[in-house]
A and B are shown apart, each in its own frame.
Chain A
Amino acid sequence: MGKPLWVFMERVTPSGRGVVSDWYEKDIEAEAQDEFDDILRNLAVTPRDLWVRPAYDTMTPEFGEIRFFANKLQHRVFGFFLRETSQYVMLVGATKKGKNYTPRDALTRVPWYKTTVLTDRKLIRPYAKHII
């Protein structure tokens, strides 16, 4: 089997918990988990220029969001590319209703999360829940 183009990483809290893994396990329903798994499997083999809507949106030059709809809710996972290592780092997952996110500060804290993990690369680890 061939290698994917992108390896997914997730932010880890100082206490060692995977932020996206926790969100996946505790905060979203099985339907959303399955949709997220499938979107990640497809993005993993998709060249960067084809990461476009509806599955992905570049929000600023610094970060973007993985997007999917499941269980009557919009879901967003904010993150950024580490091109030198062919990684996509997921910083935080959220659900969205209108303009409101749950957790509420998910979007506003993205730049800070990014700075944190770039300062200390131990705060990211591989994410593999989508892998069969």
Chain B
Amino acid sequence: MTAFGRRGSAGLMQRLRPTRIDVADLLEVAEVVLPALAGPRLRVELVRRSGAGSVLLVEEDERSVRADLAELADDMTGAGVAPTPEAMTAALRSWVAHRPVTDAAAAADGIAVLDWADPARSAVGWRVVVRRGEFTPSWTPLPGTAAGRLDEVRSTATARAGQVELTLRVEGPVALWSHPLLPVLATTALAAPGRMLARVADAGLPVDDVHVVVTPQRPVACAARSVAARLAGETSEASVTLPWARLTTLPWL
């Protein structure tokens, strides 16, 4: 998955032997697509510079992003976006949907999920994300954000995570939580450990010594310590196993 989404890709052959996206073609598409993407607080427009190429400007509240259209065309080529109007339109929509999350959006719609805390994927921490269609960009607080504001956004995001409807599958001694549409939301099950344990108990599983096995973007598994160890110990995939009581002590990223 790139900032241009999956739909823009023309498949394996296009990725292996990409056809160059021409900046003039991208400009033509952008002029049609961008006005429809703007909103009351979202400014999306092309800035034409004399003697230089166009710049795509996205501004929303305190956040803004600029991208040179020629560089964007190169990035799309590298990501395997097909040089068709439809694919370029989808890629532009995806790029705008990946814009930074504003403080207001995080406060109004933020949801707490677990994400990798380090590049080595050895630890996890909480992060605030918002839903934008099929995407879930994360909120990055600006340096200097007041501690009270941070706490407010994070605590409301945690409460909101507890309301996300998840699918519970019981596989013998293992409870598996997943989200039917957005895999990243599976870990919202862990934002309200009390609710999670109650549902595990309702499913007939023992709640003594419950451990969780977390791989961000994948279903979350809950089981007794020995079962969780067996589950996670026999895969080459990265995961973190921890007792449920530690969930509320994990850091914010």
Whether A associates with B in a native complex is no
Give me the interface of A with B, judged by CB distance under 8 Å: none
